[in-house]
Amino acid sequence: MKRVTTYGTFDLLHYGHINLLRRTKKYGDYLIVALSIDEFNNKKGKKSYFDYQKRKALLEAIRYVDLVIPENNWKQKINDMHKYYINTFAMGGDWKGKFDFLKSEGVDVVYLSRTPEISTSKIKKDLKLFKQ
């Protein structure tokens, strides 16, 4: 069984996230998503609209996702690769090169193109335009 993983906040889940998860799953049979906890989001300079539990429940409802684990900090990835016997680590292209160090853990590292026209920040900005 080939195990693949990806990390992120996945707030205001949208089709860009789904595109990423669908293509990530193609690299294996079992997809583990490491989901940024609220406290770590603050460290990433992000304030998510949905809290961790809600974002986790949404991800768990996606057919491509087999397990959701907490992403507590930047430093856990190397340990996670061994703890979860990961074969492939995948991230969107905005992270290209940033996680190549995981190759020395025997993990394939892939960067997948982002879905260009959508983002959580764009959704928030566009919604502000709609007068309540």
Applying CB under 6 A, among 10, 27, 52, 89 the residue interacting with ligand C2G is 10
Applying CB under 6 A, among 28, 31, 33, 36 the residue interacting with ligand C2G is 36
CA geometry: angle at 110 spanning 94 and 118, to 5°?
35
Applying CB under 6 A, among 33, 37, 81, 91 the residue interacting with ligand C2G is 91
Which stretches within the chain are classed as H helix?
Answer: 15-25, 38-43, 52-60, 77-83, 120-129
Q: What residues have CB less than 8 Å from 92, skipping those under 6 apart?
A: 20, 111, 112, 113, 114
Residue 36 Cβ, how far from ligand C2G at the closest point, in Å? 5
Q: Which stretch binds ligand C2G (CB under 6 A): 15-23, 25-33, 58-66, 79-87?
A: 15-23
Q: Tell me whether residue 126 or residue 132 sits nearer to ligand C2G (CB atom).
A: 126
Q: How far apart are CA 86 and CA 105, in angstroms?
A: 10
Determine phi and psi for 103, rounding to 5 degrees.
-60, -35
Residue 105 Cβ, how far from ligand C2G at the closest point, in Å? 15
Q: What residues have CB less than 8 Å from 83, skipping those under 6 apart?
A: none
Residue 20 binding ligand C2G, by CB under 6 A = yes
- Site residues, ligand C2G (CB under 6 A): 6-10, 16-17, 20, 36, 44, 71, 91-92, 94, 114-115, 118-119
